[in-house]
Amino acid sequence: MPLRTILKILLDKPPEIGSIVKFKDSIPPRVVIGEVCGFIGTGSRMKYEIIMLDKRMKPMLHINGSYKRRNIPAEKCKHVDVQHIKSMKRDFEIGDVVCHSRFGLRKFGVITSFINPDGLVSTSYDTGYNGTDLICCVEIKPRGLARIKDNDGNYKNFIVSNKRLKICKVDIWNEHGSRILYK
């Protein structure tokens, strides 16, 4: 059975506790993603109690530390394939292993910070990468992931824009040690 058919069958099932669903919010008009944490009512009046998730698929919190919850009618909710969302987004976070390729040369690194080109305070730390900041990385080896030092004993850093930067997967359980999987 093809994978697409299997996904369609899984997404047509009614949501369970822990399922990821999306719904349209009216004010402001946007699509919101959440995790089902409870059911309220039965039949046609059923509602899902949902913990709202941010664009990094992490729960949103109120100032007092409690989760942001919503009760949404069941007919307004639709299952979401989480792997599809994660593969679509190109959102850089601190600690991501990345590859910068230019003129056929590849440099691997780990994101350490974001720098605003105008010298202002970067908003990428609070709300996620904003697309305009420069990305500061420390250079690493593709096998073993050790940080690379220069002749003076300092770690090599490089600053790039997001245009030629790609997030890489890391295979930590490789029999020859950790290595970067680059496609």
User: Per-residue confidence of the chain (183 residues) as pLDDT tens digits?
Assistant: 455 555 555 556 778 888 888 888 777 777 888 999 999 988 888 899 999 987 667 888 888 989 999 898 888 888 887 665 555 455 788 888 999 988 888 899 999 999 988 888 887 877 778 888 899 999 999 888 899 999 999 999 999 988 888 888 888 887 777 888 765
pLDDT at 49: 93
pLDDT at 171: 82
pLDDT at 164: 83
Structure tokens, 128: 């996620």
User: Which pTM was predicted?
Assistant: 0.54
Direct distance between the N- and C-terminal alpha carbons of the chain, in angstroms, rounded to an integer? 27
pLDDT at 137: 94
Burial label, 98 (beta-carbon count in 10 A; 0-12, 13-18, 19+): buried
Domain 3-88: give its CATH architecture. Answer: Roll (2.30)
69/35 Cα distance (integer angstroms):
9
- Which of 117, 29, 21, 116 shows the shortest CA–CA distance to 73? 21
- Which of 65, 66, 76 shows the shortest CA–CA distance to 15? 76
pLDDT at 5: 54
Written as one letter, the residue type at 156 is K
pLDDT at 50: 92
Q: Cα–Cα–Cα angle for 38, 43, 44, nearest 5°?
A: 100
DSSP string, 5-48: HHHHHHHHSPP-TT-EEEEEETTTTEEEEEEEEEEES-GGG-EE
pLDDT at 56: 67
In what order do the strands lie in the sheet containing 134-139?
157-160, 134-139, 105-115, 97-102, 165-167
